[in-house]
Each structure stands twice: as C-alpha cells, then as structure tokens.
Chain A
Amino acid sequence: MALIESRTDGPAIVPDRYQRVEEGAAIPAEGAILVSLSRFLAEHDELLARTAPLGVWLASKETPASLAPFLDRIALVALDFPVFSDGRAFSSARLLRERFGYKGQLRAIGDVLCEQLPFMLRSGFDTFEMKSLRALEEFRAVVGEVRVVYQPTGDGRPTAIDRRLGRR
C-alpha cells in the first residue's frame, strides 16, 4: 500500500502519519489519528481537545454534512471506496470542497482504481491510498491523459466553455 500525494510539482509517495483507530479501541494519547464519522460525532469534544492532527473517515453511504461545523479543525477527511464502482464519494468530495469550504487533506481510501484518479483530482481529492507497487508510475501515466474538461468543478481548471469565451 502506498500513499500518494498530488502536489503542484507532481505526485509523491508520502508517509501515512495517521493511525487508524478501530471501532471500540481506545484513543491513543498522542499522535495523529483517523477515526470513523460515528466515533467523531459521539466524541468530538474529546477528540478536538487533543493537540495532534485529527482525521475522520467516511463510509461511502455517509454524507459529509454533519462534519461541516468542525471542518476547520480537522486535518484529514478520508472517503472510502468499498468498490471502485461505488461513486458516492465523488459527490462527498465536491460537497466538502465546494460547499463546505474544506481546505485540509482529502484522501481516497479503499478500492481506488488508477483510471479514476483524474476524476478524483477534479472532485477535490489530493491524496490516494493505492495498492499497486507501481502506483507512482501509474499516477503519472493517467493524470493528464485527457487534457480538455467540460465541467466546472472546485479544481478551478478552465473548462472548454471558459476557453471558448476567453474567460480564463
């Protein structure tokens, strides 16, 4: 498993600083942690009182709206793809970025198909858990394969309409 971060100078393999807290397990006293949405909603006061970075992961059926009031104090939101074909997290990602103004790390976890990376980037994801040993190479190969975009999203890329109208 590799964690890849998309940066302005290209993708890079980065260490995963977050320890995932299993359901029912005790919260570690120190260090960055990743907890489920239900755990966060039940214990947010205690969790936010910690000084280390806090991450929250959402199952694909969970919407991010309940997280909105806390987003400025959350360093990582991870959205799960239980299977690559479950595309609910694309909507969650756009809502987080475009509606709720989330600025922290947005990570795709689970069954991340490398051909989905361009769509994920456009939806606001910036880090990706990938299983392949050649993840970095694959990332470079697929991102930028299709240069034109038709839809405006929070990534701010000029759309075909923007370019036609000379808007951007």
Chain B
Amino acid sequence: MYRYDEYDHELVQDRVAQFRRQVERRLAGELTEDQFRPLRLMNGLYLQLHAYMLRIAIPYGTLDSRQMRKLAFIARRYDKGYGHFTTRQNLQFNWPKLEETPDILAELAEVEMHAIQTSGNCIRNVTSDQFAGAAEGEIEDPRIWCEIIRQWSTLHPEFSFLPRKFKIAVTGSEQDRAAVKVHDIGLIMRRDGSGQAGFEVIVGGGLGRPPFIGTTIRKFLAKEDLLSYLEAILRVYNQLGRRDNKYKARIKVTVHEIGAEEFKRLVDLEWAEIKDSTLKLPKAEMDRIARHFEPPAFRALSKRAQATDARVASDRDFAAFVRHNVGPHKVAGYAIANISLKPIGMPPGDATAEQMDLVADLADEFSFGEIRVTHAQNLVLPHVERERLPALFDRLAAGGLAASNIGLLSDIIACPGLDYCALANARSIPIAERLTERFADRDRLELIGELQIKISGCINACGHHHVGHIGILGVDRKGEEHYQIQLGGSASEDAALGKILGRGFSADEVIDVVEKIVDTYLELRIQGEAFIDTYRRVGQDPFKERVYGAH
C-alpha cells in the first residue's frame, strides 16, 4: 500500500499544526463558533447532537495493522473505547473533546493518516473496491488512481469551496463493489481497442434527494489525462453548480438540469484547454505510485486446502463462515476473508478498541498486515491462505467477530441516525438492531439468501436506502419517528433506485413489515432466485398487497 514520502508527511504535519492554532484561537475566545465552524469543517470535525464527532479519512478503505492499532489507541485514550466505520470507508469517533482533537490528529499523522476533507463542500475521501488488488478479473489495482486523486484533491486551491460536497469512486473491476454509478464522479477501469488501460467516466450519480444514477460522459480516458479531465469536470461544476439551494447543489442536479450532453460538451471544451498542461501525469509519477501497490510476496500454494475442506465438512459454524464471509482470490491457494461488523443486536459498523487490535493482529498473522474497510461497514483481510482459514476463524470467534452473514439480511447498512446525528429525523441503529434480532436464526437467514437492507435516518441517505433491496428511510411525522419502505434498489453494476412502497410505519410496525415482505418473497420465488430478482420479475404489487392489504 502507499507510504508517504517526505512531501506527504510535511503536508499532513503542517495541517495538524494549522488546526492546532485554530483550536487554540477558538478555546481562547478569539474565534466565535460561527467563525470556527468553517475551519473545523475543513478538518472533519462536526458538532453533533451530544458532542463533537471527528471523521477520519481511510483513503479508499485501505489500512495497515499499524494504522488500525493507532485507531484502537485513539478509541481508548480519547473516546469511549469504540469507533464507527462508515459507508464511505471512513471511521468516526463520536465523543472527542475539542481541546484534544489536535492531539488526535497528531497521533494520526504519525501513521500517515488525517481528517482532511472528510467534511465540507470539497472533494471528499476517494472510495474504491474493498477487494482491490485481491479480486479476480481486475484490469489494474484502482488504488493507484485513488492515491493520485487523493493527492491532487488535497487542499485544492480552486475546488475547496464547491457548491456542495463531491465524491469520487474508482473500481478496477467489471463487478462494481464501489457503487461508482451513485457517485458525483465514478471511474471504471476499461481497456481500449489497443489494450491500453484507462477509465470510463460517469458523472452525476448520487443518493440523497433527489437520487440519480450517473451518466457516462467519456467511454475511455487515457491514464495520463486523468487529472486534467477531472479538473475540467470540477471547473465546470464549480462555475455552474447551483448555490441558491443546498438541496439542488450537487453535480447530479447540474447534469440533470442542463442535460448530460451539454454537460459533456462544456467539459470537453474546458478539457481541450488544459489537456496538455502540467496536469498531464508524468509516467515516472504513475510508476512511482503504482510500485506502492505491487502485490505482497504471495507463496506458491496448491489450490486444494485439505484441512479447510475437512473442517467445512465437520463444522457447521465454520462452513457458514466460509460460505458467506470468504471470497475467491486471484492467487491460487489464497482467499479474501470478510469480517462482519454486524453481530446480532449491535450497531452496524461499530468496533471496539479490543476488536480493532485483534483485527490488526490477525492482519499481521494472516494477511500481510493489510486490512480493508467496505462501504457496507465491514472489514476485510484481503490475502489469507485458504488452508489457514480455520485458524483465522477460531481467533475471530474468540473475539466476537465471526458473524457469518456477509450479504445476508442481517448485514444491514445504517447511518448513525438520530442517536448521534444533528440532521437525522429518526433513529436508524435501533431498527437495524431489532431486525438482526428478529432474523437471528441462521437457517432462516440462509434460506432467505442475499438481501440488502439499507437504513437512513433522513433524506440525506447516508445509509444508502435508495439502493437497498429493501430501503428504509426515517422521516419525522408530526414529531414522531416514522419509516418509509422502498423496494428494488441496487448499488451494483445493475444499479437501480428503489421505489416507495406506500405510506410509512412506526418503529414497532416496520419490523413486522419487513418480515411480511421477506415472507412474500419466499412464497413467490422460483428455485434459487434472489430477492432482487424475484422483485424484478413480479413487481411491487404482491408486496404492497401483503403489507397494506390486511389493514
């Protein structure tokens, strides 16, 4: 993975010192909260319902064991002993003290981490495929390009006061695990006719109100032109994006209002002016960054993993872990191991300091020290020898991290909701917790199969409810928490937005309603059909009838 050089270090250290001075001025009363607000928001520090919240960037979801141990240390020393992994592959601490935040940032800088641009109307942390560098069928490791974008976007002088926040996602694989079509810019690595790798460029996707699937404005972009093309898009958006209404300020609305064709024309005009400028990436720099993402020293292993196969045959728990949490690796004899942060009855994405330390230790022992954070709020050990899966599983189980539910109904995505967030209308976490309790039975979960439930506590859609197979949106109805159901969304390469089922429900009712929807699916499905496929085949009516018919 990428290691900072002297310039990267210097920038982050300078930024820590700068923020320390700003906090000192705030504490000394030289800055009012109004004056301090834009400064703290340039550094991921939010003022939430009960306390400050610090959002730490985990660039493209890649961490090493040293960084994870530092997060555990910060959780223990400066917070309440836990942290929350987010749908943008970041980590949030919910209880930092303002006066200690510069110290937290200094701790992070020691391990090449920061909180730069995790908030504010700027280019946010770039996200990517959590299996980058490990999955089969990848054109190139997308993190090379994420890191190049990270550097280019960091403290960008022109694009730090955009109309609204700006999110870029990159995938190197046909199979889209990074939800690139619902980002402000999505990049998919492609090959042109001559076999050269480059990017398909998608703009104007996004969740939140109103949701849009992005449009392709360039089918193939050469690698060296990546930054000039991004700069052209951002410049057009910075000039044209609406600033009169926060809810219409994202690039998706700009693209929608002027039309994708016109937007593309404006970008191409701008690009023609800067394509051959100093933004053209030098090969030496592309190669330098790429070297950081060269594969670890994989061993030559047999495809067969006898001990693992034997344990699968004899141990139901382990078999379930392998079935749901373990995926194929591009190198023979290796596997990708997912660690679920969705145990029954717990807030999705939370991890204790002890669990973080355990994952760090396991990364060192089993996965070349590498860890990934997924947009589904889980963790990944990307490079595990298949034959060592039983040993890994036992260690995870001892640490309470062996929930075998990746991709199943209880692998719920949820935003922090009204338990923490100042924007929320309703709580998300208790709904997620109660659903995992209602569907705790493993046989039943397995019978239901792949089903994504996504919960947002407000229309800003941090819980991605629009692209859940079942989406749940918290709304405020006359001062009461209420929940709307949407069906049929997807964040994958077949991206689709869910459709609202009908009137909403109370927190008590919504658990029963989900159960009715699931039961309806089980009755209607054809052998082996996943929920989303049944839904697409039969439409919304049977679900509607079942949910509302009895009332």
Q: How far is the CA of A165 from the CA of B285 in the complex (A)?
A: 8
Q: How far is the CA of A153 from the CA of B156 in the complex (A)?
A: 10
Given the interface contacts A85-B121, A87-B159, A153-B158, does A160 sit within 8 Å of B243 by beta carbon?
no
What sequence of 0s and 1s flags, for each residue 238-252 of chain B, a beta carbon within 8 Å of any chain A beta carbon? 110001000000000
Q: How far is the CA of A160 from the CA of B8 in the complex (A)?
A: 8
Given the interface contacts A91-B239, A150-B151, A150-B152, does A119 sit within 8 Å of B157 by beta carbon?
yes
Inter-subunit contact B18/A152 (CB<8 Å) = no
Cross-chain contact of A164 among B5, B21, B152 (Cβ < 8 A): B5
Q: How large is the interface on B (under 10, 10 to 19, 20 to 34, 35 or more residues)?
A: 35 or more
Chain B residue nearest to A121 in the complex (CB): B157
Tell me the dominant secondary structure on chain B's binding face: helix
- Which residues of A are found within 8 Å of B155, using beta-carbon distances? 119, 146, 149-150
- Tell yes or no: A94 within 8 A of B by CB: yes
Q: How far is the CA of A63 from the CA of B38 in the complex (A)?
A: 26
Cross-chain contact of A94 among B5, B17, B158, B161 (Cβ < 8 A): B158
Given the interface contacts A141-B21, A146-B18, A148-B14, does A153 sit within 8 Å of B157 by beta carbon?
yes
- Which residues of A are found within 8 Å of B156, using beta-carbon distances? 150-151
Inter-subunit contact B162/A91 (CB<8 Å) = no
Inter-subunit contact B17/A85 (CB<8 Å) = no
- Which residues of B are found within 8 Å of A163, using beta-carbon distances? 7
- Which residues of A are found within 8 Å of B152, using beta-carbon distances? 150-151
Given the interface contacts A87-B238, A90-B161, A119-B157, does A147 sit within 8 Å of B38 by beta carbon?
no
- Which residues of B are found within 8 Å of A141, using beta-carbon distances? 21
What sequence of 0s and 1s flags, for each residue 132-172 of chain B, a beta carbon within 8 Å of any chain A beta carbon? 00000000000000000001101111111110000000000
Cross-chain contact of B157 among A86, A92, A122 (Cβ < 8 A): A122
Inter-subunit contact A91/B235 (CB<8 Å) = yes
- Which residues of B are found within 8 Å of A84, using beta-carbon distances? 38, 161
- Which residues of B are found within 8 Å of A63, using beta-carbon distances? 239
Q: How far is the CA of A161 from the CA of B8 in the complex (A)?
A: 11
Docked complex: A131-168 residues within 8 A CB-CB of B: 141-142, 145-153, 159-161, 163-165
Given the interface contacts A146-B14, A146-B18, A164-B288, does A90 sit within 8 Å of B7 by beta carbon?
no
Chain A residue nearest to B11 in the complex (CB): A148
Cross-chain contact of A123 among B5, B21, B157 (Cβ < 8 A): B157
Q: How far is the CA of A115 from the CA of B120 in the complex (A)?
A: 14
Q: How far is the CA of A82 from the CA of B392 in the complex (A)?
A: 58
- Which residues of A are found within 8 Å of B522, using beta-carbon distances? none
Which of B18, B239, B273: most chain A CB closer than 10 A? B239
Inter-subunit contact B17/A145 (CB<8 Å) = yes
Shortest distance in angstroms between A75's beta carbon and chain B's nearest beta carbon? 24
- Which residues of B are found within 8 Å of A145, using beta-carbon distances? 14, 17-18, 21
Inter-subunit contact A148/B7 (CB<8 Å) = yes
Given the interface contacts A91-B235, A113-B38, A163-B7, does A151 sit within 8 Å of B157 by beta carbon?
yes
Which of B157, B282, B285: most chain A CB closer than 10 A? B157
Cross-chain contact of B161 among A85, A99, A122 (Cβ < 8 A): A85
- Tell yes or no: B277 within 8 A of A by CB: yes
Chain A residue nearest to B235 in the complex (CB): A91
Inter-subunit contact B239/A86 (CB<8 Å) = no
Inter-subunit contact B239/A164 (CB<8 Å) = no
- Tell yes or no: B10 within 8 A of A by CB: yes
8 A-B pairs with the lowest CB-CB distances in the bound complex, closest first: A87-B161, A122-B157, A148-B11, A152-B278, A160-B7, A119-B157, A146-B14, A145-B18
User: Which residues of B approach A to under 8 Å, CB–CB?
Assistant: 5, 7-8, 10-11, 14-15, 17-18, 21-22, 38-39, 42, 121, 151-152, 154-162, 235, 238-239, 243, 273, 277-279, 282, 284-285, 288
23 contacts between A and B (CB under 8 A): A60-B243, A86-B243, A87-B121, A87-B161, A88-B238, A88-B239, A88-B243, A91-B235, A115-B42, A118-B157, A119-B158, A123-B158, A146-B18, A148-B8, A150-B11, A150-B151, A150-B154, A151-B156, A160-B8, A160-B151, A163-B7, A164-B285, A165-B285
